[in-house]
Structure 1
Amino acid sequence: MRKAGMGLLVLFFCCCLILTGCGASSKGEPSLVVYSFKGENEQISISNGVIVLTPNEEIFYGGDLTGKQEALSDVVEYSAAFYAVSGNEQKTLLSSGVADKTGTGLDISGPMGKIAGDIISRAQIEDLQNGLFFELKTTGINGEQHQYQMQLTLTQVTKHDTN
């Protein structure tokens, strides 16, 4: 019985040694890369946006939207989208829409949500440096439609390998 217990202990340590080398290889790339983004124009602003890239997951936090004009206070329907432009291609990263059928109006200010999955590869992050955009389409109580677009500024937060 004692030999079987000792054999299991040796087997356990061997498995631990083997599995410690099975982690994600950085191959010169940081295991965690974090970017923040923001943007502002006369009508709207986006703040506190975050992109997190790990070897296993990509997370896009849309940040907070703020409406800066009184005209944005009588909105009954809106759609918002974050997208990347590379060459002639436009790739939607996160989109959402809200409609108020009561006619009382919506507050467009607030968090824009998040998404995780296969959204942005490390290779595509270079395209986002000058090609990350936000678009807001609104419909007012009177039925008038507006479209607002702005380019977002992307800043790398992590500067070194965090392994």
Structure 2
Amino acid sequence: MRKKFRIIVFVIVVFLITSCTKQQEKNEIYSFSGKNETVTINNGLIIVTNDSEKFIGGDLTFNGEEPSDVKYSATKFFFYKDGVENIILNNIVSIETTTKGTPKGTNIQQDMGSISSKDLFYGDNLEQIKKSLNFSVSGILMNGEKFEYNLVLDVKKTY
């Protein structure tokens, strides 16, 4: 009986020690969105776990007439750290001209894409991102006209 009691106490102590020293599971989910008179970003996510960090750019919509016949466009998500712009995700699309006929432009991609890595956000970058996440879409139309729209995004912890 005494031996059984010691074994039970030993198992409980070992369980408590391993439970207390075991690395806590990290799961954080942030959503972001934003809107101004020209563009809207919805459904953006930042997912942080012990094993990976993922940035999902969400969806872009235009609040009015979307630029059409786009020859070149660039979208980027970025934040400021110590006054310096740090790019998280950057997408560039360029239409090559053809030798036959008139070159036709395209519309801007609505899905902003994603990026993931073990160490996507270094140090306190996630804290900086939560405070100063920005989005920009710029480009050139087939007629040579340039456009650029900027948006500050609102980041909220959802889990």
Per the shorter chain, which TM-score range?
A: 0.7 to 0.9
Q: Distance in 1 between matches of 2:75 and 2:127?
A: 23
Residues 98, 78 of structure 1: CA spacing in aligned structure 2 closer, same or farther, 3 A cutoff? Answer: same
* Aligned ranges 1:18-97 → 2 under 5 Å: 25-26=23-24, 31-70=26-65, 72-97=67-92
Q: Unaligned stretches of 5+ in structure 1?
A: 1-16, 159-163
Match of 1:116 in 2: 116
What amino acid sits opposite 2:141 in the alignment? G
Give the stretch that moved more between structures: 57-66 or 121-130. Answer: 121-130
Structure 2 CA distance, aligned partners of 1:121 and 1:157? 21
The letter for the 2-side match of 1:33 is E
Q: Identity, % of aligned pairs? A: 30
Deviations 1:29-80 (CA, angstroms, capped at 9, x unpaired): x611000101111111111000000112100001011123425123221001
**Helix, strand or coil at the partner of 2:130:** helix
Q: What TM-score does the superposition give when structure 2 sets the normalisation length? A: 0.76
Find the aligned partners of 1:100 and 1:56 in 2 and give their Cα distance. 37
Q: Which segments of 5 or more consecutive residues in structure 2 lack a partner in the other structure?
A: 1-14, 98-102
In the alignment, what sits opposite 1:141? 142
Distance in structure 1 (CA, Å) of the matches to 2:155 and 2:91: 21
* CA distance in structure 2 between the partners assigned to 1:24 and 1:136 by the alignment: 44
Q: Quote the Cα distance in structure 2 between the aligned partners of 1:130 and 1:106.
A: 34
Tell whether the 8 Å contact from 1:75 to 1:105 is kept in structure 2 after alignment: yes
In angstroms, what is the RMSD of aligned CA positions? 2.2
* Structure 1 SS opposite 2:68: helix
Please state whether the residue corresponding to 1:47 is helix, strand or coil. Answer: strand
Q: Amino acid of the residue matched to residue 124 of structure 1?
A: N
Distance 1:52 1:71, change over 3 A: closer
TM-score (norm 1): 0.74
Work out whether 1:105 is the aligned partner of 2:105: yes
Query: What do the CA deviations read for 1:113-152 (whole angstroms, capped 9, x no partner)?
Result: 1100122147322212221000111111211111111100
Tell me how many residue pairs correspond in the alignment.
136
Q: One-letter code of the match for 2:110?
A: G
Counterpart in 2 of 1:156? 157
**Partner AA of 1:42 in structure 2:** E
SS at match of 1:143: coil
Give the aligned partner of residue 129 of structure 1.
130
Instruction: Provide the rounded CA distance (Å) in 2 between the counterparts of 1:122 and 1:32.
Output: 17
